[in-house]
């Protein structure tokens, strides 16, 4: 919805589709360890191959959404590649809030307390990611508009001098 009100002409449908596909892929990767464990295939972190797969999966998970969004964003924003590291950093910080309640809850924790803890963590995660990426995008948009404005002035001046 924010993109619709922006002077930057990001194709909202393409952005939404890319984000949705990447998010579902990231969710699937994130759920893989617990799914394997629940199906009787315990993850053995004593094996180097498991560590390599875990690191690779974590990188793919963290890069999936920003890379998908960059594919859309690069059509309308110079230096759109910078979206990727900014987004990864925002998600890295934001995911901390989602994981934060984990060590403080166990099977004896009241269901209501657990729900509140993880809902608050999720809200903090979403607010962190939205704030970090939104501020960056706003700054980039301002730079983009200044560049376009300078181009228009330069074109007008060159037309007057010709």
Average pLDDT over residues 12-40: 90
- For the chain, the average pLDDT equals 87
Average pLDDT over residues 30-44: 84
Neighbours of 92 (CB within 10 A): 12
pLDDT (tens digit per residue) in 76-129 = 888 899 999 999 999 999 989 999 998 988 889 999 999 999 999 999 999 999
**Res. 8 pLDDT band, cuts 50 70 90:** confident
Give the span between the Cα atoms of 162 and 152, in whole angstroms.
15
Mark whether 119 and 106 lie in a shared domain.
Answer: yes
Mark whether 86 and 18 lie in a shared domain.
Answer: no
- H helices of the chain, in order, are 12-38, 48-73, 83-99, 111-161
Show the domain range for 118: 81-162
Query: DSSP label at 100?
Result: T
Mark whether 160 and 85 lie in a shared domain.
Answer: yes
Task: Using the 3D structure, point to which of 76, 106, 122 is the last residue of a domain.
Answer: 76
What is the model's pLDDT at position 120? 96
Instruction: From 103, 102, 97, 31, select the one nearest 61 (Cα to Cα).
Output: 31
Domain count of the chain? 2
Task: Using the 3D structure, point to which of 76, 109, 125 is the last residue of a domain.
Answer: 76
CB 91 within 8 A of CB 65: yes
**Alpha-carbon distance values, 20 to 33, 52, 86, 118, 127 (Å):** 21, 27, 19, 22, 18
**Res. 1 pLDDT band, cuts 50 70 90:** low
Mark whether 3 and 18 lie in a shared domain.
Answer: yes
pLDDT (tens digit per residue) in 129-141 = 999 998 998 888 8
Per-residue tokens: 95? 């995911």
What is the model's pLDDT at position 43? 79
Mark whether 93 and 157 lie in a shared domain.
Answer: yes
Mark whether 65 and 135 lie in a shared domain.
Answer: no
| pLDDT of 161 higher than 70 | no
Task: Using the 3D structure, point to which of 76, 94, 116 is the last residue of a domain.
Answer: 76
Mark whether 2 and 63 lie in a shared domain.
Answer: yes
What is the sign, positive or negative, of the torsion defined by CA atoms of 102, 105, 106, 110?
Answer: negative
Mark whether 41 and 63 lie in a shared domain.
Answer: yes
Mark whether 62 and 47 lie in a shared domain.
Answer: yes
Global pTM reads 0.77
Q: What percent of the chain has pLDDT over 70?
A: 95
Mark whether 90 and 57 lie in a shared domain.
Answer: no
Give the span between the Cα atoms of 131 and 23, in whole angstroms.
18
Per-residue tokens: 104? 């403080």
Give the span between the Cα atoms of 132 and 90, in whole angstroms.
6
Mark whether 111 and 49 lie in a shared domain.
Answer: no
Mark whether 26 and 45 lie in a shared domain.
Answer: yes
């Amino acid at each position: 919805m924010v993109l619709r009100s922006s002077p930057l002409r990001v194709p909202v449908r393409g952005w939404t589709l890319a984000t949705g596909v990447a998010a579902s892929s990231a969710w699937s990767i994130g759920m893989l360890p617990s799914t394997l464990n629940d199906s009787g295939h315990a993850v053995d972190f004593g094996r180097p191959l498991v560590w390599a797969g875990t690191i690779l999966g974590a990188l793919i998970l963290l890069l999936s959404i920003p890379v998908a969004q960059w594919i859309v964003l690069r059509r309308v924003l110079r230096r759109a590649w910078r979206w990727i590291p900014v987004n990864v950093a925002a998600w890295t910080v934001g995911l901390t809030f989602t994981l934060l309640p984990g060590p403080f809850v166990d099977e004896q924790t009241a269901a209501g307390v657990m729900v509140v803890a993880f809902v608050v963590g999720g809200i903090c995660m979403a607010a962190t990611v939205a704030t970090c990426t939104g501020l960056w995008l706003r700054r980039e948009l301002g730079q983009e508009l200044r560049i376009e404005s300078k181009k228009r002035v330069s074109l007008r001046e060159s037309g007057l001098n010709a």
